[in-house]
């Protein structure tokens, strides 16, 4: 079974500053994928970034980067230069290879303030 842990309380972030969202996971599968999703108050679930368990380099997508520390089983999301539109709930998720189940963490609420 896979388990994702996101424990940070709601966060307020100053516009233009960077923010790190913590995610730890637990799995016995040797091959898996890690994902971050953004969900604004309007409800759509937006895929942000993906990290494969065998990827040697940390994933980056524009202002999003994933700090992957396999030995620590952590996959923290870093958002650089926060914008007001980044205010949302952020979910960390993982999926074992060959398994269609996506395990979600409880989410982190981020509010960006001007």
Is 61 a binder of another protein (CB under 8 A)?
no
Tokens of 24: 């730890």
Nearer to another protein, 62 or 114 (CB): 62
Applying the rule CB under 8 A, the residues between 70 and 89 that interact with another protein are 89
Is 43 a binder of another protein (CB under 8 A)?
yes
Is 95 a binder of another protein (CB under 8 A)?
yes
Tokens of 67: 């700090």
Is 44 a binder of another protein (CB under 8 A)?
yes
Residues that bind another protein (CB under 8 A): 31-33, 35, 37, 42-47, 50, 52, 89, 91, 95-102, 104-107
């Amino acid at each position: 079974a896979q388990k994702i842990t996101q424990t940070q309380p709601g966060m307020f972030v100053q516009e233009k500053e960077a923010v790190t969202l913590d995610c730890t996971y637990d799995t016995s599968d040797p091959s898996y994928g890690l994902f971050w999703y953004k969900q604004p108050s309007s409800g759509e679930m937006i895929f942000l970034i993906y990290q494969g368990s065998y990827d040697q380099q940390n994933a980056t997508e524009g202002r999003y980067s994933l700090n992957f520390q396999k030995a620590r089983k952590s996959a923290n999301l870093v958002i650089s230069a926060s914008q007001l539109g980044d205010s949302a709930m952020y979910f960390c998720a993982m999926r074992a290879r060959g398994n269609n189940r996506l395990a979600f963490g409880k989410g982190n609420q981020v509010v960006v303030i001007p």
